[in-house]
Amino acid sequence: MDLSGKRILLIISGGIAAYKSLDLIRRLRERGAEVRPVMTQAAQEFVTPLAVGALSSGHVYTELFSREDEQDVGHIRLARDCDLVLVAPATANLMAKMAHGLADDLASAVLLATDRPVLIAPAMNPKMWEAKATRRNVETLKADDIAFIGPMAGEMAESNEAGVGRMAEPLQIVDAVIAKLDTGPKPLLGRKVIVTSGPTHEPIDPVRYIANRSSGKQGHAIAAALAKLGADVMLISGPVTIADPAGVTVLRVESARDMLAAVEAQLPADIAVMVAAVADWRVAASADQKIKKQPGEAPAPLALTENPDILKTVGHHAQRPRLVVGFAAETENVETNGRAKLERKGADMIVANDVSPENGVMGGDRNRVNIISADGIDVWPDLAKDDVAERLAALIAARFAG
């Protein structure tokens, strides 16, 4: 969908990520949205109302006690005369105000007075995002039906700082706005879903690792499709080079053990969809320094040990989700191996596919899957991975509703 005719109230709070709001306004207007900006006092230290007004082609609201704007109780009008309230960036300070119902400036007063959907794009230092107070505020806001996009992992504006805290990119936020305004059915509204995606990297030494060819495209598409049906999706992703999907919270991990710990930390959940192509083995003892070649000598053998089985752990967990879906990437005997995996892993459904190189599934944009459950096997035709994701999300919603 485009955003023609949609009215977006954009609240810009004070952080270095405020500069991204200029591009965000442009991207929203490209899609037909009307953007009405509100800026906090701190936001004006990073970008000017003049720049924001030029891009939005309208008045920029900055003061709660403006004689001009408040003649008709302007903050109430702003709060109601829109289709969506978007906060980008959302600082730790503004999120704390939202969580505790404070209204001491125009932005927080609007947020307290609105009866419209609210979507926020957090941006802050990783330590601030991880702080116990912030985590409490995030849970409060989620319980209050505030939707989140991000934050993302990456380099911070501060030198030598990296981690989760970067504001989502403008196009990712636009996708989340479109998803939030989608008026289609939401059969999974309020349901917590864990999705794993991508490969895992198992270190051999500081520069080498064991991995596979998974791109994460199918897992990310499934996470987006489930979010579109209203689910609260936590996407736990191994190392990938594709963009985060709209409308989901993303947690990045490296190894199989990291992924298992992240999955268990998210339990209890209603649904688990284990799409990640987890490495079956890791090096028993990875080297602290790069292993050097020795002229004329054969390479030292690598002793491997088995990684934890994430799907099996979840399928037999004391806090097992009501619906557990696993994936089986096979190169032969797809149906037979998929059926065996269904029973062995304790899953309710296995999505089995043939990932032989000639099929181009690993890293490609299409997939052909078999849905295996206690009810039998359903062979789907060759589809785009986005179409597989939408069909699977609909099937999950139907199975879960039952």
Active site residues: 212
| Pairing mode of beta strands 232-237, 249-252 | parallel
Copy the structure tokens of residue 196: 């794993």
Q: Is 341 annotated as a binding residue?
A: yes
**Identity (one letter) of the amino acid at 230?**
G
Is 177:8 a contact under the CB 8 Å cutoff?
yes
Pairing mode of beta strands 349-354, 369-373: antiparallel
Taking a C-beta distance cutoff of 8 angstroms, is the pair 330, 354 a contact? yes
What is the residue type of 279? A
Q: What would the DSSP string read from start to end of 16-43? A: GGGGHHHHHHHHHHHTT-EEEEEE-TTG
Are the C-beta atoms of residues 350 and 297 closer than 8 Å to each other? Answer: no
CA separation for the pair 347, 304 (Å, rounded): 27
CA nearest to 349, candidates 311, 318, 382, 387: 311
Integer Cα distance of 247 and 119 in angstroms: 9
Q: Is 97 annotated as a binding residue?
A: no
Contact, 344 vs 325, CB < 8 A? no
Is 228 marked as a binding-site residue?
A: no
Q: How far apart are CA 237 and CA 350, in angstroms?
A: 19
CB 106 within 8 A of CB 38: yes
Q: Please tell me whether 120 is known to bind a ligand.
A: no
Neighbour tally for 337: CB within 10 Å: 17
Tell me: is residue 55 an annotated ligand-binding position.
no
Confirm whether residue 280 is marked as ligand binding: yes
Q: According to the annotation, is 345 in a ligand binding site?
A: yes
308 is known to lie in a ligand binding site = yes
Residue linked to tokens 């198992």: 202
Q: Is 267 annotated as a binding residue?
A: no
The answer to whether 193 and 268 have CB atoms below 8 angstroms apart is no
Binding residue ranges: 280, 290, 308-311, 327, 341, 345
- Per the annotation, where are the binding residues for CTP? 280, 290, 308-311, 327, 341, 345
